[in-house]
Homo-oligomer: A and B are copies of this chain.
Amino acid sequence: MARLNWGMIGGGEGSQIGPAHRISAGLDGKFNFAASALDIDAAKGKAFAQTLGIEGDRAYGDWREMLAGEKDRADRVDLVTIATPNSTHFEIAKAFTEEGFHVLCEKPMTMTVAEAEELVKLAEAKGTILAVNYGYSGYSLVRHMRAMVARGDLGKVRLIKAEFAHGFHADEADADNPRVRWRYDPDLAGVSAQFADCGIHALHMASYVSGQEAETLSADFASGIPSRTLEDDAMLNIKMSGGARCRLWTSSIAIGRMHGLNIQVFGERGGLRWAQEQPNQLFWTPLNGRTEIIERGAGNLSPEADRASRVTIGHAEGMPLAFANIYLDLAEAISAHKHGRTADSAATQYPKAIDGLRSMAAIVAAVDSAKQQGVWVDARPPMLR
């Protein structure tokens, strides 16, 4: 398989998520980093692109330039990653999708549900891939959980406990720090802070693993640091499409928690527990049985898990390799698309525009519920009701 050409918008020098994308996209040698518009500052973006080995004429100053420059090339980029601030995702994703590019968009996909619906429809109309980077779904054992649920190991799923807790915004003295403050300011961050930023990963994972979608929800938001307008802690109860109840907690004031993205799934025939901080072990307890430790790389897991596993058992794989699995999937999907063949079914596990849409609807619903003292509200996007 020849390497695919890859382009990146945002993720400039010093950005938080940029390096992770470059590591992940490059890791399996499927993508050649060919074009970019890395920075809000065109000159800085071009200079940085050079250090990353991008040819001068494809180190664009901004995304419009890049779209113009790429769209008619024979060797145009096969995939564009959008890693700019949230408010720009929609227009960039829309513009590239319209020109038939495949896109991997950082989360959140858009700022509104309407925009998200528009993108979903557009990508469908264009027949292009529009993926959203819920990157934690790339972990081998997350995929194994999903496969276990799908093949019925747990029976009907009754209950999902999901959390994403950290304590890095707990310092009141830091509340004025611009790096932190904007996140809790509705003018800059939108309607939700901690749930939209972190909790949504937990919700995506709950759906991803259980195969059930949020239908209605009740939310309680709190601001542990009282000067904050937006929530730094939130609890949701969610009724899922398959009948499960999901209980989701997220916090940024939980001092001592790192990036505690944890999930527990309880069904009729067993329970699963997994924690992002120790991602190479999965705890499985069959009904009336003993807890078993499932090791990543054990070799006899589901095809989905095996595909998402690279190094031998007992050797930790971490977050960059999970992210890389999203790119690995996309390489297969794009390649299949290009050659008009069907993609390997185990490689269709990446999060899609529809997931981005569902997340947007859930965020809006949670805010709505929280404002009304936790009244239950519909969590589905209008077009899926």
- A residues sitting closer than 8 Å to B (CB atoms) are 1-3, 16, 19-20, 22-23, 26-29, 32-33, 51-53, 158-159, 161, 166-167, 170-172, 218, 220, 222, 224-225, 233, 235, 237, 245, 247, 249, 251, 253-260, 264, 266-268, 270-273, 276-280, 283-288, 290-295, 298, 310-321, 373-376
Contacts and interface: CB of A to CB of B under 8 A. Distances in A.
Contacts of A233: 158-159, 245
Contact of A254 (B159, B170, B315): B159
A85 to B, nearest CB: 17
Given A53-B3, A235-B237, A254-B266, A29 B20 contact: no
Contacts of A280: 277, 316, 318
Nearest to A259: B314
A370 to B, nearest CB: 11
Contacts of A170: 266, 268, 271, 287
B255 A266 contact: yes
B257 A51 contact: no
Contact of A167 (B26, B271, B374): B271
Contacts of A270: 255-256
Contacts of A172: 268
A314 B279 CA distance: 11
A71 to B, nearest CB: 25
B320 A319 contact: no
Nearest to A315: B319
8 contacts: A170-B268, A172-B268, A235-B247, A256-B273, A257-B271, A258-B313, A310-B320, A317-B318
A310 B317 CA distance: 14
B288 A291 contact: no
Residue of A23, A27, A53, A267 with most partner-chain B CB within 10 A: A23
Given A159-B254, A279-B316, A373-B376, 10 more contacts: A159-B251, A170-B266, A218-B220, A254-B271, A256-B285, A259-B313, A260-B314, A280-B316, A290-B294, A316-B318
B27 A23 contact: yes
Given A167-B271, A321-B318, A374-B376, A292 B295 contact: no
A94 B321 CA distance: 35
A2 B311 CA distance: 29
A247 B249 contact: yes
Contact of A292 (B167, B222, B291): B291
A27 B29 contact: no
Contacts of A166: 314
B277 A255 contact: no
B312 A159 contact: no
A24 to B, nearest CB: 9
| Nearest 4 Cβ contacts at the A-B interface | A256-B285, A258-B314, A259-B314, A255-B271
A319 B313 CA distance: 11
Nearest to A233: B159
A276 B260 CA distance: 20
Nearest to A236: B235
Contacts of A27: 23, 26-27, 320
**Residue from A255, A290, A373 whose CB has the most chain B CB atoms within 10 Å:** A255
